[in-house]
A and B are shown apart, each in its own frame.
Chain A
Amino acid sequence: MESHDVIIKDAVKAYGDFKAVAGISLDIRKGEFFTLLGPSGCGKTTLLRMIAGFNTIDEGTISFGGRVINGVPAHKRGIGMVFQNYAIFPHLTVAENVAYGLKARKVPARDIAPRVRTALEMVQIDPLAGRRPNELSGGQQQRVALARAFVIEPSVLLMDEPLSNLDAKLRVQMRTTIKKLQRKLGITTVYVTHDQEEALSISDRIAVMKDGRIMQVGEPTQIYKKPENAFVAGFIGVSNFLDCQVDGQDPGNATLLIGDFRLQGVRLNRPYAGPGKIAARPEHLSMGAEGIPGRIELSTFLGDFIEYEILLENGQTLQLNEYTKDALTVKKDGTPVKVLPDADAVIVYGEGGEALT
């Protein structure tokens, strides 16, 4: 089956007064690896299950390749789905599991065996074809689930936290397998995870979700470098938030007053004056002759970088990372320091949480 784009328009899923999905619109492009990322309870799995057909769509529409699928039952949507807990049929062998969807599609018997073999080869478990699921490890089971989902050449491939039950090392390994496979097959893929590192590493584009709404859609680098609001900045990676007064009559050269310290040369996207908030990544803070005064609470040497926990005079704690190659020594705990944010890299938010940079 040809791969489709997935257009979601104003989709709503309500449980009584609670809206698990509160009017979401997304254009997922054909062949794209698209991730729904968010904390638990943000509605990402609910939305995925609406696409799959396991949850009804209360309002709005979802269409595959221009065809609205609201009324199409799950088994006729032509999707492939990979579940968090593998959901391998325990009474069938590995090969039978993979052949299951092909049989349901009435693929001629002589074509089934070669297709199953190819699929198993692609996920590198072809020697296990005759095994029973209870003889497989978690990682192997997830490979079976993957092969079973894409062997039917679905128009859309859906994955619901497929790696969350695997140990850390295996997770990274499977991540690469999934990414390569998706590139090769070019199947439109919607992937759900709460793990931001996983989302950043695997996706073409990411939708960050909170409380049933989309907070930001964009490529991983965009999401990381230019979070559109404080939630995304806090959720993706580590961000230090500092209150400030923004003086930005001239958006090309604004001044931020953080405590008694003036940070100059910040570029805003529009004129703004008033209270605001800056978000700075640990690697966008440095220690020098001037800056916000504080004291090192705890320094942790982590190999390629040093992580400092700094207590500011106003009682707030910051996290600051210094690359080992740039540092002469590891500073002792208790050392008084001045913290300087990188004026080009920090994100400034206005009073309502909207991004000004």
Chain B
Amino acid sequence: MMKFPALKKPKLDFWFFVKVAVILAMLFFLVYPFSTLITRSFFSKKADGATLENYATFFSKKYYLDALKNTLYITFASSITCLLVGAPMAYLMTRYNVFGKRVIYVCIILALMSPPFIGAYSWILLFGRAGFVTRLFAGMGITTPTIYGPGGIILVFTLHLFPYVYLYVSGALTSIDSSLEEAGENLGSSKLRRLFTVTLPVVMPSVLAGAVMVFMTSLADFGTPMLLGEGKTRVLPVLVYDAYMSEIGGNANMASTLSVIVVACSLSVLLLQKFYVARRNYAMTSLRPPKVVELHGWKRFLVTLPVALVAFLGLLPQLTVVVSSFIRTDFTGFIGGFTLENYEKILSRLATNITNTYYFSAIAIIFIVIFGMLISYILVRRRGKVASAMDLLVMFPYVIPGSVLGVCLIVAFNRQPVILTGTAAIMIISYVVRKLPYTVRSGSAFLYQMDASVEEASISLGVSPMKTFFTVVARLMLPGILSGAILSWITCINELSSSIMLYSGKTSTISVAIYQEVMRMSDGTAAALAAILTLTTVVSLMIFLRFSKGRVSVI
């Protein structure tokens, strides 16, 4: 037997090996690609060795600075509009007896879960140059405002992402103890004053958390600005894509530089929020949730109207694509009349995309569930230095937009020793890395609530820690994790921004095909594909809502 010098010997148990495996996987699929990306950003074809040239180019050329300005303008503006829409909606929905609350709630969730670029696409179908509404009004001699450009992008982001603010704020509003507001009332503040001096400050961290989610998501989105920007309103993720596409065969240096800048933007916003929330943490356990005001007659109707209207607008894209997928088209666009030929076309031409989408997502979900359970267990129950490092690593993809992750994986795996570009594996890896944080977060939340003595009871009865994990802990976590997995599944099938960077002819997905069909002006097939995605999303979401019974948050 060999003897090693006695350092503090780690226990060579099951969890030791899991920790090693997880850390190695993270190093290989996250740290290595991202550090390659950073290294690449300092290289240029024009210079030998490391250089700041790419960054110098970025900060000196109007082309890039305009994109940065556009990006920041659009994301900040969208965060604010989402706040203005989401927060009042949350207040109305939690405090008043709005008609059809349940239905409106489901519509709001659907708006959030729908593929982002389908929103953009539908608004083009309605208000675009050849849109249904545009032509209708043009027939009456009225010119409708354009949907293209920053305004349209902000509108689409707002209707798609306001649910983030809504969900965070309504969560906070229902967990305020009513005595707090009553105290405000006792002290003599008026209702409106109370809203601004008591209620609002207390829910402020949640409001901000929602706004930051909007910021991050709109910053990361590629499809919407690509479709509505029409090459004129450029934002950073679009530039990343363009730079990468124009550099094909080259070495993606500028794409790397742009990626680093995008990550820096989202990271700084996230840190700002963390800094703010860390100083204002009003953790509250609601003993008496606030009462719902019972309105009657026209007052109740008045409260319902704005809420229902926003929910309807959020859902409009889905309705539009489903309806238009059954309308006959030719090369000029939709020409009217019911048909199934759009579906016949996609089934004959794009069947692989459909199977790929479901196949890749399903495999990704299996990995997400397994890794999600193991990692959240380590984070909650095996706290220590390794767990803290793991926590940081696993949450890092939060700040990496899909297109950036795409570039990361390409620059890391398009050369020896491991070549994965063009394979199904690289698509699946990108899905797992991006969606894992969500599952880990919901898994950890569940474990924090689960009493650790249940595990200890099993161990004390003679079952090893490893077997205990699989027969007791995993078994008990499963419902929560599976609900989370359904949400990850929905985001995987709708994923565009990293797929568009990573796909090859054989590994293309539905979302990539929609994007390409829209670009080829093949509206009928695009609508049919979008309808398939929308339908899958709706069905999955219904299963989720039935399954989770409100115990698992959608955000």
Q: How far is the CA of A155 from the CA of B460 in the complex (A)?
A: 12
Q: Which residues of A contact B454 (CB under 8 A)?
A: 87-90
Q: Which residues of A contact B459 (CB under 8 A)?
A: 53-54, 74-75
Are the C-beta atoms of A85 and B462 separated by less than 8 Å? no
Are the C-beta atoms of A90 and B456 separated by less than 8 Å? no
With contacts A54-B456, A81-B457, A100-B458 taken as known, whether A87 is within 8 angstroms of B451 at the C-beta atoms is yes
Q: Which residues of B contact A325 (CB under 8 A)?
A: none
CB < 8 Å A-B pair total = 66
Are the C-beta atoms of A148 and B475 separated by less than 8 Å? no
Are the C-beta atoms of A90 and B476 separated by less than 8 Å? yes
Main secondary structure of the interface of B (DSSP, over half): helix
Task: Give 1 or 0 for each of B461-499: 1 = CB within 8 Å of chain A CB.
Answer: 111110010001001100000000000000000000000
CB nearest neighbor in A for B457:
A87
Are the C-beta atoms of A152 and B461 separated by less than 8 Å? yes
- Shortest CB-to-CB span from B549 to chain A, Å, is 15
Are the C-beta atoms of A83 and B472 separated by less than 8 Å? no
Q: How far is the CA of A105 from the CA of B459 in the complex (A)?
A: 12
Q: Which residues of A contact B186 (CB under 8 A)?
A: none
B453: interface (CB < 8 Å): yes
A246: interface (CB < 8 Å): no
With contacts A54-B456, A87-B456, A89-B457 taken as known, whether A104 is within 8 angstroms of B476 at the C-beta atoms is no
Q: Which residues of B contact A76 (CB under 8 A)?
A: 462
Q: Which residues of B contact A91 (CB under 8 A)?
A: 475-476
Are the C-beta atoms of A74 and B475 separated by less than 8 Å? no
CB nearest neighbor in B for A151:
B461
Instruction: Give which listed residue, B460, B464, B465, B472, contacts A89 with CB less than 8 A.
Output: B472
Chain B, interface residues (CB within 8 Å), range: 10 to 19
Task: Give 1 or 0 for each of B416-454: 1 = CB within 8 Å of chain A CB.
Answer: 000000000000000000000000000000000001011
A78: interface (CB < 8 Å): yes
Q: Which residues of A contact B465 (CB under 8 A)?
A: 73, 75
Are the C-beta atoms of A100 and B453 separated by less than 8 Å? no
Are the C-beta atoms of B460 and A52 separated by less than 8 Å? yes
Task: Give 1 or 0 for each of B335-350: 1 = CB within 8 Å of chain A CB.
Answer: 0000000000000000
Q: How far is the CA of A74 from the CA of B458 in the complex (A)?
A: 10
* Chain B residues numbered 163-196 whose CB sits less than 8 Å from any CB in chain A: none
Q: How far is the CA of A81 from the CA of B460 in the complex (A)?
A: 6
Q: Which residues of A contact B468 (CB under 8 A)?
A: 75
Are the C-beta atoms of B476 and A81 separated by less than 8 Å? no
Are the C-beta atoms of B453 and A101 separated by less than 8 Å? no
Q: Which residues of A contact B453 (CB under 8 A)?
A: 83-85, 87
A248: interface (CB < 8 Å): no
Q: Which residues of B contact A74 (CB under 8 A)?
A: 456, 459-460
Q: Which residues of A contact B456 (CB under 8 A)?
A: 52, 54, 74, 81, 83, 87
CB nearest neighbor in B for A100:
B461
Of A53, A81, A148, the most chain B CB neighbours within 10 A belong to: A81
Other A-B pairs beyond A52-B456, A75-B459, A89-B458, 18, CB < 8 Å: A74-B456, A74-B460, A75-B464, A77-B460, A80-B461, A83-B453, A83-B457, A85-B451, A85-B453, A87-B456, A90-B476, A100-B463, A101-B461, A101-B463, A104-B462, A104-B463, A152-B461, A152-B462
Q: List 25 A-B contacts (CB under 8 A).
A: A52-B456, A53-B459, A54-B459, A73-B465, A74-B459, A75-B461, A75-B463, A75-B464, A77-B460, A78-B462, A80-B461, A81-B457, A87-B453, A87-B454, A87-B456, A88-B454, A89-B457, A100-B458, A100-B463, A101-B462, A104-B461, A104-B462, A145-B457, A148-B461, A152-B462
